[in-house]
Amino acid sequence: MKETILLTKHMRDNPEDSHLIDSYEKNNGYTTAKKTILESSPEKILEEIKASNIRGRGGAGFPTGVKWGFLAEDEDRYLVINADESEPGTFKDRILLERDPHQLIEGIIITCFSANIKEAFIYIRGEYAKPARRVQQAVEQAYQKGYLGKNIFGSEINLDIVVHLGAGAYICGEETALLNSLEGRRGEPRLKPPYFPAVKGLYMKPTLVNNVETISSVPWIIENGGEEYNKLGVEGSTGTRIFSLSGHVNNPGNYEIEMGSSFGEFVETLGGGIRNNKKVKAYIPGGASAPWFRGDQLDIKMTIDDVANNNSMLGSGAVVMMDEDTNLVSAAKSIVSFFAHESCGQCTPCREGTTWLEMILDRIASGRGRTSDMNLLLDVCDNISPGLSWPPKMTTICPLGPSAVSPITSLMNDFRDEVESLIPTKVLL
């Protein structure tokens, strides 16, 4: 199994200075944006994006062309790049921001041309200070060259980009919470409907919210054509995708591959196998929100639909391998604690439920669990996401609460013995 290099080509070819505009331009950077602005039309660009069948790389996997098509008419419309990458296990946008910020800016220029947008924001998580510095420098260089600002590339078109730093809140990766945050409010998700960003987004104006990787793919798609992109990967999961591999593997890292191989092949070849030749006990196929797969499920294909058909999600493309020695109760506790900490507090089932789950798991992990805790865990989960089905049913405004349920249902379905073994047998409550 080999990588297919589109998005990470420039940074690989020019490792030392791929973040600078001179290096980017020497390798034909900004030629696609220039050609688009001077020779193409918004409709043509949208057609190419639709033909590429690219689906959003942030987690939900919504078709990008369809999303762009939903954008309501208005004089003021905005593009917001979601660079609030914070799903545990994920570090793929970080490399795109740090090492190829101009590719993202070129993608923004093309996107804004297609959607008739004059102002874009790049919302970068606060902990990504270094990536934010690189992006800010790149934006300044693009302004100096006349690729941003007034009359870009000598055309009649104006485009401004503002780099905005978040301040440590996972929930702002949820698009409507991100918009509230960008408006200077608490990062609390909005109800959809009526607040679909494409209709009522930033400042209640139509807004496109797209992930860094999605928009970084745009220059390649426009340069080579949507059809070419569509040929890569498999139906429903076209193109390449950067997977972040971590956990107990020999070679953790970001790998750009065409979707369609199995997780097992991915880990054995590019990942260099599991450390110390151990076996996989369980793995997370798409970030902390995703239900786990067992070690005997490594033949599942890495496509959005295959993973969904097996009751999990490819999510943000974060694959975390846990070997046979992993304490899965501690692992689940870590994930549940994450969601308890990051709950925005608006909805009771999430605010209270995640905290309870954390406390119950904590007492089980520390050997103070009660026999009744097994059912209590599932009962609390059921109150957050009734029926414990996949995709999860919701009692909350956004999917954060149900995400905390994922690791627990995985534990209870597949590793119940491991949880029970931690509960002292003499406790009868």
Partner 1 sequence: MSWDDKLLKQAKKIIKLYPQKRSALGPLLHLAQSKDGYISDDSITVISELVGITEVQVKSVSTFYSMYKQEPTGKYLLSVCKSISCEINNSSEVINKVQEFTGLNNNETDEEELFTFEAVECIGACGGAPAVQVNYETVEGVTPENAINLCKWLKETKPDVVVADEMQENFGGIKSFDWAIQDNSGATSTAPGFQTLKTTKVKK
**Does 288 interact with partner 1 (rule: CB under 8 A)?**
yes
Quick check: helix, strand or coil at residue 23?
helix
Identify which range of 185-193, 214-222, 262-270, 306-314 contacts partner 1 by CB under 8 A: 185-193
Closest residue by Cα to residue 97 from 109, 107, 87, 110: 107
**Does 13 interact with partner 1 (rule: CB under 8 A)?**
no
**CB–CB of 206/71 below 8 Å?**
yes
| One of 330, 366, 389, 421 touching partner 1 (CB under 8 A) | 330
The DSSP bridge partners found for residue 121 are 80, 162
CB 122 to partner 1: min, Å: 11
Question: Residue count at the site for partner 1 (CB under 8 A)?
Answer: 76
Ranges within 25-64 binding partner 1 (CB under 8 A): none
Identify which range of 45-53, 212-220, 228-236, 314-322 contacts partner 1 by CB under 8 A: 314-322
- Residue 185: other Cβ atoms inside 10 A: 10
- For the CA atoms of 223, 229, 230, 236, the dihedral, rounded to the nearest 10 degrees, stands at -130
- Residue 43: other Cβ atoms inside 10 A: 9
CB 33 to partner 1: min, Å: 18
| One of 106, 342, 358, 414 touching partner 1 (CB under 8 A) | 342
CA dist 276 and 248 (Å) reads 9
Own/partner long-range contacts of 421-426 (Cβ < 8 Å, ≥24 apart): 422/329, 422/364, 422/365, 422/367, 422/369, 423/364, 423/369, 423/370, 423/371, 423/373, 423/374, 424/367, 424/368, 424/369
Which DSSP symbol is given to 234? E
CA dist 373 and 412 (Å) reads 12
CA dist 358 and 363 (Å) reads 9
Interaction mask 157-176, partner 1, x per CB under 8 A: ---xxxxxxxxxxx------
Distance of CA 175 to the CA centre of its chain: 11
Identify which range of 15-23, 37-45, 53-61, 357-365 contacts partner 1 by CB under 8 A: 15-23
Ranges within 216-245 binding partner 1 (CB under 8 A): 244-245
CB 92 to partner 1: min, Å: 9
Cβ proximity to partner 1, 45 vs 329, nearer residue? 329
CB 248 to partner 1: min, Å: 7
| One of 252, 349, 369, 399 touching partner 1 (CB under 8 A) | 252
CA dist 174 and 179 (Å) reads 9
Quick check: helix, strand or coil at residue 399?
coil
CB 104 to partner 1: min, Å: 16
**Does 184 interact with partner 1 (rule: CB under 8 A)?**
yes
Ranges within 107-126 binding partner 1 (CB under 8 A): 119, 125-126
CB 326 to partner 1: min, Å: 6
Ranges within 141-160 binding partner 1 (CB under 8 A): 143-144, 149-150, 160
Bridge-based pairing state of the strands 119-124 and 78-83: parallel
Ranges within 350-409 binding partner 1 (CB under 8 A): none
Interaction mask 58-97, partner 1, x per CB under 8 A: ------------------x--------xxxxxxx--xx--
